[in-house]
Amino acid sequence: MSVIAKFLYEIIPGRFDDFMEMLGQAASPEFDSPVMPSSVRLFRCIVPGPDTSSIQLFIEYPDMAAYGRRTDFENNNPKWRALFSEQPDSPQRLVSVELLSEIVPSAPL
């Protein structure tokens, strides 16, 4: 069953392009691992308006084992940790992380 890691970020006003550049670096071949996400989607809340500062990043994995292997890769990669470490001048602030599992109607809850 699919697993989605949902990250909620607050973006510092005027720093959206910097945040997108950071995500672009994260998607570079330098950070490829044996297990990669099935999909990555980025959403912005459009209410109350387009300048809302929160961004939601959804990263999907085929199952919990794949999520765990990718997370181990990230946690053990100093360059990855440095890329996402929050500093006083970072363009983002991580507000929350949720791990969601898919509900398949025929599967037991």
Structure confidence at residue 51 (pLDDT): 62
Buried-exposed string 74-86: b where 16+ CB fall within 10 A, e elsewhere = eeeeeebeebeee
What is the phi/psi pair of residue 70, to 5°?
A: -65, -40
Q: 92-101 and 3-11 as β-strands: parallel, antiparallel, unpaired?
A: antiparallel
Cα R_g (the chain), whole angstroms: 15
Rounded distance between C-alpha atoms, residue 93 and residue 54, angstroms: 9
Task: Please state the pTM of the whole predicted model.
Answer: 0.88
Q: What would the mean pLDDT of 23-30 be, rounded to a whole number? A: 96
Phi, psi of 107 (to 5 degrees): -90, 145
Instruction: Please compute the mean of the pLDDT values over residues 8-18 and round it to a whole number.
Output: 92
pLDDT digits (tens, 9 = 90+) for 39-53: 999 998 877 766 668
Q: What is the mean pLDDT of residues 69-73?
A: 97
